[in-house]
A and B are shown apart, each in its own frame.
Chain A
Amino acid sequence: MTQILLIAIVVMIFIVIFQIAKASEYVSVLKGEEKARKQNNKINAFLLISFLILGLIGVWWCNDMFYPKTLFPMGAASEMGEKIDLMLYITIGVTGVVFVITQVLLFWFSFKYQEKDNQKAFYFPHNTKLELLWTTVPAIFLTVLVVFGLKYWFKMTSDAPKDAVVVEVTGHQFGWEFRYPGADNILGKKNYKLTKGANSLGVDFNDPASLDDIHVAATMHIPVNRPIKFVINAQDVIHDVGLPHFRMKMDAVPGIPTTLWFTPLYTTEEMKIRSGNPNFVYEISCDQICGKGHFSMRGVIIVESEADYKMWLASQKPEYYTIFPDKAPKSTSIDSASTKQTPLATVIATSK
C-alpha cells in the first residue's frame, strides 16, 4: 500500500513539475521571449554565485563532520605511513588552494559577467604571457610533488632490512593464511600442485626448511618497532593486502609473489587509546574484487611487544607436525594439550 502511495506521490511530483514547465513556456511566449530569457539569465547567475557560497560553506561543514572519521586524527601506525600522511597534507594544501581559486573565479566570473544590456564582451583571443604563466606555474608545483612522491616511493618499495620479520601472506577465496619461517628463518618451498587436504598451502615438505614453518589462519601476530616483511601470494584469483592503518597495500597475484615491508609503531593496545576506540583492531582488507565474498575477506593483525610476540610464536606448533602428527616429537603432544590452557605454560615448557 505504501509503495503504491509512494509511486503516486512521485508521479504527482513529475506531473506538477511538467505543468509548471509548460506554463512557464507559455508565459515566456506571452511576455516576449527576449524578456523572459533575460529574466532567467539573472536568476541563473544569482543561483550560480549562491551555489559557490553555499558550496564552499558545505565543503567546510563536510570536513568538520567527516575529518574525525578519517585515518588522520589517529595518525599513521607505521614509520612510512607518517611520511605519507605529511605528503597527503601537502598535496591537500596545494590542490586545496588551486581548487578554491579556480572555483571562485569560475562562478564569480559567471555571475559578474552575466549578460547586461549595456555590456559588451571584450575581444581577447589570446595572450602568450598569460598562457606561459599558467603552463610554468603548475609545472613547478608538480615537480615538487613528483620529487617528494618519488623519494618516498623508492623508499617504500626498496628491499626490506635484513633483520625484518618475514611473514608469508596467502590470499584465497575468501580469507587469509599466514606462514612464519620458524627457527631457521627460511620459508620452505611451495608447489601449488601439492595443495591437497590438510596441506592447504601446497608446502613442499621435502624441503628441510619447511619443517619448522608455522601456519596460522586469519589472525597474524607481529612485533612492534621492527621491520615486517610480507611475502604475498594468492591461490585462486587476484586479491590485495590492504593495510589502511599502515598506509600500505599490495596485490596478491597467483603465480607471481610480491612483497611489501613496513615498521609498525604502535601495538594494538596503544592504538585503542590513540583512536579512542576500545574495539580497535588492525584489519587486513581485500582491496581487489575477488568474487562474491570479497567484502568479507578480513584478516586481523595483532601488533604486540617483542616479548608477547615471542611468547605467541613459541606457542605455535609447526605445520609439519599438525599435518603429520606421527612425525611429531613425543613431548610436543603434551605441549599442544597445554597450549589450549595458557600459552605461557608452553613457553616455559619449550624454552628449556
Chain B
Amino acid sequence: MSNTISLQEAAIYQEHDAPHVEHQHHETFITKYVFSQDHKMIAKQFLITGMIWAVIGGLFSVLFRLQLGYPESTFPWLEDLLGHWAKGGKIQPEFYYALVTMHGTILVFFVLTAGLSGTFANFLIPLQIGARDMASPLLNMLSYWFFFLASIIMFSSLFVQTGPASGGWTIYPPLSALGDASSGSKIGMDLWLTSMAMFIVSSLLGGLNYISTILNLRTKGMSMTRMPLTIWALFFTAVLGVLSFPVLLSGAILLLFDRNLGTSFFLSDIVVNGKILPNEGGSAILFQHLFWFLGHPEVYIILLPAMGMSSEIISVNSRKPIFGYMAMVGSLFAIAILAFLVWAHHMFVTGLNPFLGSFFVLLTLLIAVPSAIKVFNWLTTLWRANIRFTPAMLFAIGFVSFFISGGLTGIFLGNSALDIHLHDTYFVVAHFHIVMGVASFFGMFAGVYHWFPKMYGRYLNNTLAFIHFWVTIIGAYLIFWPMHYEGLAGMPRRYYDFSGWESFKMFAGLNQFISVISMIVFAAQIIFIFNFIYSIFKGRRVTTTNPWGANTLEWTTPIRPGHGNWVGEIPEVHRGAYDYGKDGREFIPQTEPVGENESHH
C-alpha cells in the first residue's frame, strides 16, 4: 500500500536522477552501494561511517591520555605527525583541548547517535515490524547524506590552521563565541556549528521517518503491544530526537549570529584580551538551557536503543520471555518523558534559582525508578533461564552491568547538594563514560554481533569476539572505576596537567595506569573492526534463516534479503515477540497462529 507507493516514487526518482537505470530491478553500483534507498544498505552506511568516526574519536582519547599519563615526557613522533600541535613532541594545551572537544563531539553525536540509532533504527524497524522499507526511502537516503556532509565538514575542521573547536563538546559561550578567547573558537567553531546543523537535519529526517514507519507500516497483526522492545526503544529514541534536536539547532544558529552578526543573545559585559566588547544584555546561561534541553534527552537517545537491543538479545539467548514486557515499555515511556524534564541538573552550579533546582532534583532522581524496574526485569529474565553465551549475549550482560554501575552514580550527581561538590570532577567523567559511553557501546556491540548474520549472511569470528568482549569489559572497568576516587578527591575534569596543584597531583601513577589500559582497550576495538571487515568477505556462511532461534520477523526473511525484504507476501503476525519456552516449546515465532490449546497469559 503506502510502502509500494513510496517504492514507486523512489523508482521514479531513480530514473529521473540516473537516466541510465533501465528499470528498478536493475541496480548499478551507484544506486546499490552509494545513493541506495534500501534501508538495509543505509543502515550499513551509517554503521561503517560510525565505525570510522569511532576509530578517530578513540584515537583522540588515546592521544590525550598520553598527555595525562605522561605529562613530563616528550614523544618526537607526535611532532612528525601533528606539526606545531605537538611542538617538541609534547601535545600543546590548545591541541589537548581540541582533542577533548572533538572526542566528545564525535563519540556523542557521530558514533553513539548516528552510528547507533542510525544503524539499528534503519536496519531493524522495517525488518522487525514487517515493512518492505521505510515510509520514505528518499528522505532516509538524504538522512545519511546529510550525516555524511556533516561528517565532511567536521572532519575538515580538523585541518584548519587555527584548529577545530576546543571549548568542550558542550560549547558554552562566551568561550565558543569569541575568537579572541580561544583559537579553537575561530573558524573551527563555525565549522563545528555548521556541521552540527547538517547533523540535526539528518537526524530529523531520520527520526520523522522512523516514527512514521513504526506508526503506519506495521504488518497485519503487528499491534503496538506485539512489537519487539527494540522497536519501542527506537520509537522513543526517535521521538526524543525530533522534539529536542530543533532546540539545539536554535541554540547553534543564535550562537552563529552572536559570532558573526554582532548580536548579543549570549554575550554581556565582556572584556577579552583587554578589548571591551559592546555586547550587553545577553545571557550566557540561556545557551546552557538550550543546549541541555537537547543535551539531556541526547543521553537517552544514546542509551534507549542499547536498552532495547539488550532486552531483545537477553530474551532470545535466555530462551525465556523478557520479564514484564509491559513494564519494560512503560519504563521506556517514563524515561522518555522524564528525559525532557531534567535538563537543568547539568546546571546546578550556574547560580540557578534553588527553588527551581529542587524540582530538577526530584524529577532527576525519579528516573531511578524506571531504571530500577528495567534492571530487575533483566535480572529476572536471567533467573531460571537456559543461557547461551553468544558474543551478543555477553555484551548485553555487560551492558546491564555497566548500566547498573553508571546509573547508581547518577543518584549522587542528580542530588544537587552532592552535585555541587562533584560537579565537573572526574566523578562525572566516570559516571557518564560508564553509563552512556561504555554501556551504549556494549549495547551497540551486542546489536552488531546479533544482527551481523542478517546484515551480511555470515558470522563474525567467535574467538575474536570473545577476546574483544573480555578485554573491553575488564579494561573499561579498570579505566573508569578508579576515576570515581579522583572525583572524590575533587580533581577537575578537562585539565591538561595536574602537576602544578597541591590538591590533585597525587594521582600521577593512577593516571599513567589508566592511559596504558586505554591503549589496550583501543587495540581490542581494532580487533573488532578487523573481525567485522574480514567476516563481511570471509566469515563463516549462515546456512539457516533463523540462526539464533528467535521469534521476530527479521528471521523469516531470506538469508540475504533483497530490497523489499520478503519474497512474496509480508508475513502476518499472531503473537508478541517473546514466546520463548512457552508450553514446553523452545520458541514460537511471531508468525505462528495461536494454537487452540495454547495457554494464555
Contact = CB atoms under 8 A, between A and B. Distances in A.
Nearest to A111: B387
B174 A236 contact: yes
Interface string A101-136: 011011101100111100111111111001100110
Given A236-B178, A237-B175, A20 B463 contact: yes
A250 B351 CA distance: 7
A113 B385 contact: yes
A123 B424 contact: no
A62 B582 contact: no
Interface string B481-514: 1100100111010111110111110110010000
Interface in B555-595: 578, 580-584
B405 interface: yes
Contact of B181 (A131, A236, A240): A236
A69 B507 contact: yes
B464 A110 contact: no
A185 interface: no
B105 interface: no
B181 A237 contact: yes
A9 to B, nearest CB: 12
Interface residues of B, number: 129
A241 B351 CA distance: 12
A109 B389 CA distance: 13
B321 interface: yes
A153 B385 contact: no
B566 to A, nearest CB: 28
A113 B97 contact: no
A192 B271 contact: yes
Q: Which of B495, B504, B584 has the most CB of A within 10 A?
A: B495
A192 B494 contact: no
B382 A110 contact: yes
A84 B464 contact: no
B269 A237 contact: no
A59 interface: yes
A306 B143 CA distance: 66
A81 B418 CA distance: 10
Contacts of A59: 481
Nearest to B177: A237
Interface string B309-349: 00000000011111111110000000000000000000001
B357 A153 contact: yes
Contacts of B527: 14, 17
Contacts of A121: 318-320, 384-386, 580-581
A249 B423 contact: yes
A94 B415 CA distance: 14
Contacts of B182: 291-292
A250 B503 contact: no
A255 interface: yes
A193 to B, nearest CB: 6
Given A124-B320, A125-B323, A291-B181, A280 B502 contact: yes
Nearest to B394: A44
Contacts of B382: 105-106, 109-110, 113
Interface string B383-420: 11111110000100100110011001101100111101
Interface stretch (B46-54, B211-219, B279-287, B299-307): B279-287
Interface string B506-537: 11001000000000000100110011000000
Nearest to A196: B276
Contacts of A238: 172, 174-175, 284
A72 B488 contact: yes
A47 interface: yes
Contact of A242 (B271, B276, B485, B492): B492
B373 A135 contact: yes
Given A44-B466, A289-B175, A87 B284 contact: no
Interface in A250-272: 250-251, 253-256, 258-259
Given A66-B485, A242-B490, A296 B320 contact: no
Nearest to A281: B502
B93 interface: yes
A14 B270 CA distance: 54
Given A66-B482, A87-B417, A283 B501 contact: yes
A195 B424 CA distance: 30
Contact of B489 (A17, A71, A95): A71
Contacts of B418: 84, 87-88, 91, 149
A10 interface: yes
B470 A289 contact: no
A138 B175 contact: no
B397 A110 contact: yes
Interface string B54-97: 00000000000000000000000100000000000000111001
Nearest to A109: B382
Contacts of B24: none
Interface string A52-96: 000100110011001101111000000001001001100100110
Given A146-B415, A236-B272, A131 B172 contact: no
A240 B349 contact: yes
Nearest to B94: A292
Q: Which of B327, B467, B531 has the most CB of A within 10 A?
A: B327
Interface string A144-185: 011011101110111000000000000011000000000000
Given A106-B397, A296-B500, A152 B417 contact: yes
Q: Which of A154, A193, A285, A286 has the most CB of B within 10 A?
A: A285
Interface stretch (A21-29, A204-212, A334-342): A21-29
Nearest to A285: B492
Given A17-B464, A287-B425, A254 B268 contact: yes
Q: Which of B270, B408, B492 has the most CB of A within 10 A?
A: B492
B501 to A, nearest CB: 6
A62 B482 contact: yes
Given A106-B404, A238-B172, A122 B488 contact: no
B473 interface: yes
A153 B417 contact: yes
Interface stretch (B134-142, B361-369, B442-450): B361-369
B375 interface: yes
B502 A283 contact: yes
Given A71-B489, A192-B271, A250-B351, 11 more contacts: A44-B389, A48-B389, A91-B418, A110-B387, A146-B361, A150-B361, A156-B420, A242-B424, A255-B268, A277-B502, A295-B498
29 contacts: A10-B523, A44-B394, A44-B466, A87-B417, A87-B418, A105-B382, A107-B397, A121-B320, A122-B320, A135-B373, A138-B368, A138-B369, A139-B369, A142-B369, A150-B358, A150-B416, A154-B358, A192-B276, A236-B174, A245-B503, A249-B420, A251-B351, A254-B174, A254-B284, A277-B502, A285-B504, A293-B93, A295-B93, A298-B500
Closest 7 interchain pairs by CB? A244-B490, A255-B268, A258-B351, A66-B485, A157-B354, A149-B415, A122-B384
Interface of B: 77, 92-94, 97, 166-168, 172-175, 178, 181-183, 267-273, 276, 280, 282-285, 318-327, 349-351, 354, 357-358, 361-362, 365-366, 368-369, 372-373, 375-380, 382-389, 394, 397, 400-401, 404-405, 408-409, 411-412, 415-418, 420-421, 423-425, 461-464, 466-467, 470, 473-474, 477, 481-482, 485, 488-490, 492, 494-498, 500-504, 506-507, 510, 523, 526-527, 530-531, 540, 578, 580-584, 601
Interface of A: 3, 10, 14, 17-18, 20-22, 24-25, 28-29, 37, 40-41, 44-45, 47-48, 51, 55, 58-59, 62-63, 66-67, 69-72, 81, 84, 87-88, 91, 94-95, 98-99, 102-103, 105-107, 109-110, 113-116, 119-127, 130-131, 134-135, 138-139, 142, 145-146, 148-150, 152-154, 156-158, 172-173, 192-193, 195, 202, 235-238, 240, 242, 244-245, 247-251, 253-256, 258-259, 277, 279-281, 283, 285-296, 298
